[in-house]
Every structure is written in structure tokens, then in C-alpha cells.
Amino acid sequence: MGIIEDEIARLMQKCISCGKCTPNCPSNKYGGVDPHEIMIGGETDVSKCILCGTCSQVCRRTDPFTVMRDLKALANDLHVSDTYKNTGLAMPKSEHPSRGELVCEWDGDDVYIMPGCVVQCKVPFLEYAAMTAIKTVGKTCSELEGPGCCLRPPQFREMMNTERHDIIAGMTANAKGKDVITLCGGCTDALREYGEENLNMIDFLYDNIDRLPRFERSFKVAVEPGCSCMPIKKKMIEIVTRLSCEFVNNGMGCCGKDTVLAEQMMADREKECSNGCLIVVACPKCFTKYDAQPDGMPVLFLSELVAWAAGHTETFKYHNIPLEPDNEDFYRPRFDGFIPKESKGMRW
Ligand code: SF4
Ligand code: SF4
């Protein structure tokens, strides 16, 4: 057996068949995978696994998420791509107008931003928003040097664990002991997997909650932390409340990423959020999904909301779904009074 098969067998052997992962799996709620069945060897099709990581958040015995990643790597014959070898990123950088128009001004090293692949390649203006939010609470920042990818995607499973660890440790060493701020919950978890402490942007803003600005006019927001940040959703809610926004107590869940389940999942997420004026997210992948939703609600990344409260709206023009706070219609929720009977999102 190879490295991947050995790892799968080792992790499956540790499963005690408690069944706790399956009812928490967002894919399973939509007719997708059954992680418990997969972990006991009864099912092998992982094509509908979203790789959200929720199963490992709830499992106390083993690591089903890693098994799913490994099975995906095998099923799709995934290997470390030439893109990574040439750029240090898991995907190619798209042309994006914000790249030349919004240039980050690094002013010090209180903290280092690790933007992650989705931000760098798809929505680079979110790094600018992160920089602005950090400066808003009175801290200086720089971008973390290094390859850039957290090595969480399945293509990296063929690497030895020690090889992945050395790459991640080499990257975080560039922070010289200062805090690393991750903008993607997947990066947050991936670094911690290798013992490298870091703060998700939610954690950082929460630690600086007394320094946050406030909006002069309150408005209703729905909050979607994304799967990786679901365990710290209360911090996110406290942050938006501190900014003077009104949290609408919406159901929360998974965007479905790029699986066949995503269309229905996104339709449910939009419905659950519809008593807000906008949706605030904390995951770059979620951001790209919500901002591409046909007839979708306006969406902001959490650091964009903080930057806006301090008067910075430079990133708004790069959104597909316009955000028009000068229009009085913005302050009217899409569907005031909607209360979902039961969220098909997460059971948190
Ligand atoms: S993977 Fe973990 S949560 Fe799922 S059935 Fe096995 S022990 Fe239980
Ligand atoms: S990674 Fe997510 S979608 Fe895949 S099995 Fe685990 S909980 Fe389900």
C-alpha cells in the first residue's frame, strides 16, 4: 500500500462506529455522503463530500475529514499540481482588476496576514479589506512571506506528513513569533493541524472588539461563518453586534462549495438569511458562492464590514451583487419576518 492507503486504513481502524459524524454532515442532509458508512468501509463514493471538515470537528476518536480528502485524492488521481510547483498556490491566479487598483500598504509587523489561495487567486480585494480592518483597530500588518498555500486540498495528500509540516513551519517562521492572521477557516485549521498557532480573522477582531468602530445607522445582517468557523460563530455575532448591526438570528450552514449539492444548499442559505439586509461571511469560498448567486442578497466579508464601519468602501465595486447603502431600499430586509422552521445547515 502507498502513503495514502496506509493513512486511510490507520484512521478507519480508530473509528468506533458511534455514528455521530453523519447527522452533522451537511452533505448527508442533502442526500450526499454518509461519513459513518465510509469510515466503516461500507461506502466508497466520496464525490458528494464537500470537504467541509465538520465530521472531524464532531469526531472525538479519529479524523474522517482526512479520510475523505485521501479518498478524493485517490478517486480523482490527484497529485501536486504544476501550478503549486511554479507559484506556491493551489490554483492559478485569475485576472482581477483590483490587483492593480487596490495595492496593500504594509506598515509594520504587529501581525502577518496569510491570505490563502482563494483570496489571492479569486478575490484579492479581500486581502485589502483585511489590511484595512487590522489598521482600523490600531495594529500594523504585513503579508506573510512563503509559498502561500496551506496544503489542505486533496492534491497534497501524496506528500509525506513531515514534508507538509516542514513547508508550513517554514512559512509561519516568517512571522518571527508575531501573530499570523488567516482569512480562510480552512487555512486556520490546516496550520493548527501542524501545530502552528494562528488567529482566524474572527478571532483577531474579537480580541480587539473594544477597538471596533460603530455604524451611525443600524441595519439587519445575517451571519454565515462557513463550516470551518462554525465553532466560533458566537464571536462573529458579537463582532457584528458591536459594530451596531442587528443580527437576525438566521439559520447557518454550508455553501456546498463546487459539488452538485451546492445549488440547493445555496438556495436554502439565501432563504435562511432573507430577513437581513445583507449576508456577512467569514470564508472566502463562501464569499465567491454568495456573490455569484443569481438574484442573491448582497454579501460582505467580515473584514469589509469592519472597514465600512470606519468609512472604507473601496472594495465594494468589485462585488458582483451591488451593495447600495445610499439607496433606502437597502435597509429593507429581503423578506422581513422569515423564520426557518428547521435549518438544514449545521446542528450547532
Ligand atoms: S468517524 Fe468518528 S464520529 Fe464518525 S462514526 Fe467513526 S468515531 Fe464516530
Ligand atoms: S468533510 Fe463535510 S461533507 Fe465530507 S463527510 Fe465530512 S462532514 Fe460530510
- Delineate the domains of the chain, giving CATH numbers in brackets: 3-75 (no CATH), 82-207 (no CATH), 209-331 (3.40.50)
Question: Mean pLDDT across the stretch 128-157?
Answer: 97
Tell the residue nearest (CA) to atom 8 of ligand 2: 25
CB of 17 closer than 6 A to ligand 1?
yes
Expressed in angstroms and rounded, the spacing between residue 160 Cα and the centre of ligand 1 is: 25
Q: How far apart are CA 109 and CA 139, in angstroms?
A: 8
Residue among 246, 286, 266, 260 at smallest CA distance from 344: 266
pTM summary value: 0.94
Class of residue 327 by CB neighbours under 10 A (exposed 0-12, middle 13-18, buried 19+):
exposed
Expressed in angstroms and rounded, the spacing between residue 38 Cα and the centre of ligand 1 is: 10
Is the pLDDT confidence value at 340 over 60? no
Confidence category of residue 171, pLDDT binned at 50, 70, 90 = very high
pLDDT on residue 321: 97
pLDDT on residue 136: 98
Tell the residue nearest (CA) to atom 2 of ligand 1: 59
Q: What is the pLDDT of residues 178-210, one digit of tens each?
A: 999 999 999 999 999 999 999 999 999 999 999
Is the pLDDT confidence value at 274 over 50? yes
Expressed in angstroms and rounded, the spacing between residue 17 Cα and the centre of ligand 1 is: 5
Q: What is the pLDDT of residues 297-328, one digit of tens each?
A: 999 999 999 999 999 999 999 999 999 999 99
pLDDT on residue 339: 53
* pLDDT higher at 345 or 230: 230
Cα→Cα distances 24→77, 224, 241, 263, 277, Å: 28, 17, 27, 19, 28
Confidence category of residue 2, pLDDT binned at 50, 70, 90 = confident
